[in-house]
Amino acid sequence: MIYLDNNATTQIDPEVLAVMLPFLTDNFANASSTHAFGLGANDAVKNARQQVADLIGSQPHEIVFTSGATEAINLAIKGVAENYSSIGKHIITVQTEHSAVLDVCKYLETKGFDITFLPVQSDGMIDLAVFKASLRPDTILVSVMLVNNELGTIQPIKEIAKLTHEVGALFMTDGTQAVGKLPINVDELDIDLMTMSAHKFYGTKGVGALFVRQRRNRLIKLGALLHGGGHEGGKRSGTLNVVGIVSMGKAAELCQQKMKVDTQSIGALRDELEKALLQIPDTSINGNTVHRLYNTTNIKFKGCDSDALIMGLQDIAVSNGSACTSASIDPSHVLMALGMTETEAFSCIRFSFGRFNKAEEIPVVVEAVRKVVESLRAWN
């Protein structure tokens, strides 16, 4: 199997697996227990919290561990809605956000909140003038993802955060596809809330985190999504997933060490594949090709059904959108937001690379895609 669906999930790095294993066997204590065994587990959690904080330039106490990015998104948006509704009930997000953000915002609409779903331009980028015009005195939160999961588009969140703070609102970004892949400093970007998930950067599934700014100039207050034992500073009750948290910390540490090399090697593979696939007639890249994550390309193959193309690539793992919406029979909401027809949206494939892809995979993938595309077009 050639795996080119790293935006859906990544392989656990062997070094991450090595640090996880003791916490599945010998070091199995509850991190909230006060005996020596529990204190050892608690020390491992503290270390992981520092490792994650170091990756994004935050303080350790600003990291709240969750079960993943979806829970972190729910905690952040619903928490702001609950605690800041006396100031206003207007929230701004973007039509191309992950369904976790969009669905939470649609839920809040049923609770009396006014949600602005910003359009994007044909390349997936936000028009800053349109965004600025949408800001209001009663805006309490702006949520714009740093990197789009389907296109790899990188939004100008520093500029967006600045405009957001000028009206006194909070700025949140879904950093799930960016953390561990791009250099991120939450202070330089002036981020108030940021979500992340370990399995997107070579950790295990079932663990993520929310960065919550806790500084004197901006002390973000969130209501708890889960109540119980008051874990994670009262923001997220529940027995800590020590083995998952340890994996996330180690994965964060490795990303800091390997990011520069990963950027160059993974980017070179993506560019090589993209160049070869674009030699196939009637193919084109979706989204902005300048402000884009180095590991992702989304390509339209005119006249080919993406599901049929995926099925034809039997030993190659690719996708036609977010794995979280794979059960939907509707076209990608991201591609539709670019102005595509349904037929066009159903003819696009996302290729996303990771640390463990190899150069020798590229010609195999190119030849396989070429054959399937020619076969599908012959039937039309």
List active site positions.
324
| C-beta of residue 92 within 8 angstroms of C-beta of residue 101 | no
| C-beta of residue 211 within 8 angstroms of C-beta of residue 174 | no
Q: How far apart are CA 239 and CA 292, in angstroms?
A: 38
**Which residue spans within 13-136 are E strands per DSSP?**
63-66, 90-94, 114-118
| C-beta of residue 136 within 8 angstroms of C-beta of residue 167 | yes
Q: How far apart are CA 124 and CA 120, in angstroms?
A: 5
Kind of pairing between the strands at 348-352 and 283-285: unpaired
Kind of pairing between the strands at 170-174 and 208-212: unpaired
Q: Which two tokens stand for residue 36?
A: 């020596």
Q: How far apart are CA 243 and CA 225, in angstroms?
A: 22
Q: What is the CA radius of gyration of the chain?
A: 21
| C-beta of residue 208 within 8 angstroms of C-beta of residue 202 | no
Nearest residue to 50 (alpha-carbon basis) of 61, 41, 39, 40? 61
Q: How far apart are CA 157 and CA 137, in angstroms?
A: 20
Q: How far apart are CA 362 and CA 368, in angstroms?
A: 10
- Can you say how many angstroms the Cα of residue 203 is from the centroid of all Cα atoms in its chain? 14
Cβ atoms within 10 Å, residue 174 = 30
